[in-house]
Amino acid sequence: MRRTAVVTGVSRRIGIGAAISRRLAADGFDLLLHSWAPHDAEQPWGADEGWTDEFTRELRETGARVEHVAADLADPRAPAELVRRAVEAYGHLDVVVANHARGVGQALEDLTATELDLTYAVNTRATLLLVQQFAAQHDGRPGGRIVLMTSGQHRGPMPGELPYIASKGALHQLTGSLSAHLAPRGITVNTVDPGATDTGYASDAVLRAVLAEEPQGRWGEPDDAARLVAWLAGEESRWVTGQVIVSSGGGP
């Protein structure tokens, strides 16, 4: 039986979510892709309008079965709906990759309760509920995998992104407890920190500053993270769980 995965945060053609989805499709997975373009529309890079439908068609042409759901993960009902749609489409679900993220720059002086609550809701609450719903429906077959995504908040200060790093730091700290809870059921839980990855968000000044500290002389590329995520989603990672893995090329 073909393996199936939900990948969240597949909204932009140069994003990590797109690279992960391509890798999993190449590895024989059938996919349910999640996106939420209104978040990107609020950002300097803007929304990649219509791209996810185009991407869905691209992956289907490779032979994968692919469904797409647009959903606001600030809605507490959305995680259950994603899992329901995946099981409805494919009969079972093997892997969840919680790649989505809300990121709005706020330093201490700029913090608002509204943004803190919304960032926690999307990055932390939705991820936990997605894990809960996945675990509730998992039928015990071998190969249950959960991959979360954190950031570099544990490796250096990020004072201008406090809501984001607070919510991502929570996922980092949840990894061990979730993995211990699900290990008896053969479900692994790992978290990936992809390091500085060029997905079009950084200004020229940030690009130069980070590049100056990159020992391999380049920024990370989306496929760098995708290769690791695909391995964690596969059979050969079955003995690896409860880990927060940095994939940064040795850089910041």
Residues marked active site are found at 164
Token pair, residue 237, equals: 């990672």
Q: In whole angstroms, give the CA distance from residue 68 to residue 2.
A: 18
Q: In whole angstroms, give the CA distance from residue 28 to residue 95.
A: 13
Q: In whole angstroms, give the CA distance from residue 220 to residue 96.
A: 23
Helix axes 16-26, 51-60, angle to 10 degrees: 10
The dihedral over CA atoms of 198, 225, 51, 124, expressed in degrees to the nearest 10, equals -100
Q: In whole angstroms, give the CA distance from residue 111 to residue 98.
A: 25
Q: In whole angstroms, give the CA distance from residue 49 to residue 185.
A: 40
